Structure 1
Amino acid sequence: CTQGSKPDPDCDPALEAEVVKPDKCGKLKDLNGPFKECITMVDPTPFFQSCVYDMCQFYGQQKVLCDQLQAYTAACLNVGAKVHPWRTPEFCPLDCPANSSYSLCVSSCPETCVGAGGPPGCEDVCVEGCKCNPGFILSNDKCVPLKECGCVDTGGFYHPVSRSGFWMAII
């Protein structure tokens, strides 16, 4: 792409006119929108152009739009810029597993049954995602009640509680 060029010469003009609107790719450049505090820190232009191009290539599929907005959200959060909520249950919902909820800013090194701070060397930054509800903690990829955390053996390996609720003997 060259600066100032149209995103996609093969895009249907009616579709392109639709995808640049403020409720679609235009949301990325909206000075009053959810990214208003990020626009001065992360240039939205390449994200906007990519959004329009991809939306044209995939005939306006909402998932493509959601992926583009998510990418810009990640770029904004990565530089510490505030992003205002843009997902709703109807628009680009992010389904979270049981006992967790969506947040624009969760720790990239969440507390787990194994311990606080994630795996060794984890760099804690704000990321969009799901976090365990109060009273629950991450065990593998599920949020479980604190009392259901397993144990770490002397070799440093985590063992979840067995299905019956009894501790498994580790030999």
Structure 2
Amino acid sequence: MINVGELIAPMGAGRCVGIQITNNTRDVTLEYPRTYCFSGRAMIEPVSHIPPGSSGSSVFVKTSYTARGSVGVLSYESDIFTLAIMFSNPFDRVLYSSEFAIQIFTGRKHFHSMEHLYNYMYSNGPPYICKSYQKVKLEVTDGQLEVINEEIQSFCLLNLSWRCFKEEKGQ
């Protein structure tokens, strides 16, 4: 399987986010992916389902010729839990940080508005301490988060690859 770093290597976008999800469950299939991009777009759409023991990748890129980054949310449903991933690879790293969040919701949760899910995960998160939600600001190019939902005794690790370009001008 190609890792997400190899997927984003040939991308010509100034800001891109590669997400690779590995399903380490024995009998849960992740399906019905949904996305919302606050800025940018999906260059490689999420796979339609990720069966047990397999992986799926997607790549999000900034919109060409704009001063915006690649920012949005991705979710997958299953019969046992719903996985939501928020990503933000901003154009302006002075004003904004690169960050991502992940949350596991118990049961099949079909979000009526992916924009509301994005705003919840980007701005607020849960109003209480919650082991099934984690958010981090990245200081390096790759990161991992682990979240645990004790009701379903499951965990997810997210490997997230970021790519940024700095244009060097010749002499």
Q: Same fold (TM over 0.5)?
A: no
Name the TM-score class by shorter chain.
Answer: under 0.3
Greater per-residue helix proportion: 1
Considering Cα pairs closer than 8 Å and 6+ residues apart, tell me whether 1 or 2 has the greater RCO.
Answer: 2
TM-score normalised by L of structure 2 = 0.26
